[in-house]
Amino acid sequence: MRIISGKYKSKRINAPNNLPVRPTTDMAKEALFNILNNNYYFDKISVLDLFAGIGSISFEFASRGTQKILTVDKHKGCIKFIHEINKELDAKLIIIKSNVYTFLERTNQKFDVIFADPPYDFTDDKFQRILELVFEKELLNKDGMLIIEHSNNTDLSQNPNFIQVKKYGSNMFSFFERLEEY
């Protein structure tokens, strides 16, 4: 995995083999950030990265100038790895070891972009719980976006606040926005 653009451009971040991760492919990540680049000034937004794995999405945001990035994962090895890379790059991520649902239930912070990359074997009710927590707790700022990465076996288009789905190879991104004012 490499960082696509920004001050850490071309930096390789290779996950140790013992971590339970499936990093977003470079092609999919580049396409995703092209979409985000058309909607946001990276240095002006706040980001929440859920199921962060090795932190590839968080580090991509940091490389592009995002200052407030919360990175959440429950796996001790992933958190340790993210801390090591964060220190090496001086990226200033806020790294939280927590179950994603517990974090979402407890936080009152708002974000411009929430990115969730749960395991591809997630059940529909687990995806639904993420959507419910984000929108019921009003965790998105005005014009904010929730992006969920998933396999092509998952269809989230029937959920409220769904905007679009984009497919890049085996990676799918479903986009959600606040469709009504909080």
User: 122-173: per-residue pLDDT in tens?
Assistant: 888 999 999 999 999 999 999 999 999 998 889 999 998 999 999 988 889 9
pLDDT at residue 182 is higher than 70: no
Q: Mean pLDDT across the stretch 14-40?
A: 85
Residue 31: per-residue pLDDT? 93
Q: How far apart are CA 20 and CA 54, in angstroms?
A: 9
The amino acid at 142: K
Residue 56: per-residue pLDDT? 93
The residue extents of the domains of the chain are 44-177
What kind and span of H or E run contains 147? strand 140-150
pLDDT band with cut points at 50, 70 and 90 for residue 44: very high
Q: How far apart are CA 3 and CA 141, in angstroms?
A: 26
pLDDT at residue 8 is higher than 70: yes
pLDDT band with cut points at 50, 70 and 90 for residue 35: very high
pLDDT at residue 2 is higher than 70: yes
Three-class SS string for 25-44?
CHHHHHHHHHHHHCCCCHHH
88 contacts: CB under 8 Å, gap ≥ 6: none
82 contacts: CB under 8 Å, gap ≥ 6: 52, 54, 55, 58, 71, 73, 93, 95
Q: What is the CATH number of domain 44-177?
A: 3.40.50.150
16 contacts: CB under 8 Å, gap ≥ 6: 77, 81
Q: How far apart are CA 182 and CA 166, in angstroms?
A: 27
Backbone angles phi, psi at 117, to 5 degrees: -125, 70
pLDDT band with cut points at 50, 70 and 90 for residue 181: low
